[in-house]
Amino acid sequence: MKGLRSVGILSTGSYTPEKILTNADLEKMVDTSDEWIVSRTGIRERRIASDDQASSDLAYEAAVKALQKANISAEQLDMIIVATVTPDHSFPSTACILQDKLGASKAAALDVSAACTGFIYGITIATQFIANGLYRYVLVIGVEALSKITDYTDRNTCVLFGDGAGAALLGPVASDKGFKSFDLGADGSGGKLLSVAAGGSRNPATAETLEQKMHYLSMSGKEVFKFAVRVMNNATETVLSQAGYEKNDIDLLVPHQANQRIIDSAVKRFGLSEDKVVVNLDRYGNMSSASIPVALDEAVNEGRVKDGDKLVLVGFGGGLTWGAAVLVWGTEEYVE
């Protein structure tokens, strides 16, 4: 659109806690096995936040790395967007807590709750502010401390989730670089398929909700799986079409890291080779909104992302929500 800036990712950063929870560890906790977990999910281990670590602590570590890479100070930030379903508190927002930790005194701050799609929602929102010239630098962080809401006696969910944070600093880039298309969607009729039932205004915390374990995450695995396969493929096709690209144009697919079988479905659908897909769920499990930015940061650090590469970022999750974006990689800031 004429008059709008092109917006891209200037830098990335990520952080995962030190504690590792392996499949062997889970075998001692619930009735499961390494073979069962790997064959059905592809996950071998996940990272777990310490008792004194909240989401803002994980987000801070990732944010600092992203800012340092771009040589941008926290005082230069115009906005901070934190995507999370495990905020430090109901309010103030985790973004406000992070703003204070960073010393980003002039930055607006807000949280986005779109579960595993949260990072895609966050970068879509950030792009609008930068494109229209209102802001220059927006820091988007996907962060989760899912271990805090996981029932480790439920073998169907406890094997899936891990903790971590990924950050991306967005800013203006040259017109041939940056984000070329976005696709966001939601189907609230499926909200109960992946949710935490208590803790909000519908079911405030009581002795009864605690006894019934309503503050833990619950999921209808088969239904969520079918939804994920469908929307991941559809959203990818949509953003490619909007950007004027074909599936053969994809240089790197960075999908939400939920299940290896879901990723394999997309790989087959789009005819991608292994080197064109980022997969790290074997080491981290499902980190919800943190999974895409952590995977992207690792790919960047490993030299898998080159200037001019066409990337597809795609996620799906609770809400139910989905989102995808096409990005032409280029981290050189555009100066008017």
User: Domain-by-domain residue ranges, the chain?
Assistant: 1-336
Note the pLDDT of residue 1.
39
Assigned architecture for domain 1-336: 3-Layer(aba) Sandwich (3.40)
Name the CA dihedral angle for 83, 84, 85, 89, rounded to a multiple of 10 degrees.
Answer: -120
State percent of the chain over pLDDT 90. 98
3-state secondary structure of 211: helix
Comparing CA positions, the residue from 83, 94, 92 lying closest to residue 141 is 83
Which active-site residues does the annotation give? 116, 256, 286
* pLDDT tens readout for residues 229-270: 999 999 999 999 999 999 999 999 999 999 999 999 999 999
Note the pLDDT of residue 58.
98
Across 84-104, average pLDDT: 98
Name the CA dihedral angle for 237, 219, 257, 108, rounded to a multiple of 10 degrees.
Answer: 90
Helix (H) or strand (E) holding 265: helix 260-270
**Mean pLDDT (the chain, rounded):** 97
CA 100, distance to chain mean position in Å, is: 22
Residue 53 has pLDDT above 80, yes or no: yes
Note the pLDDT of residue 87.
98
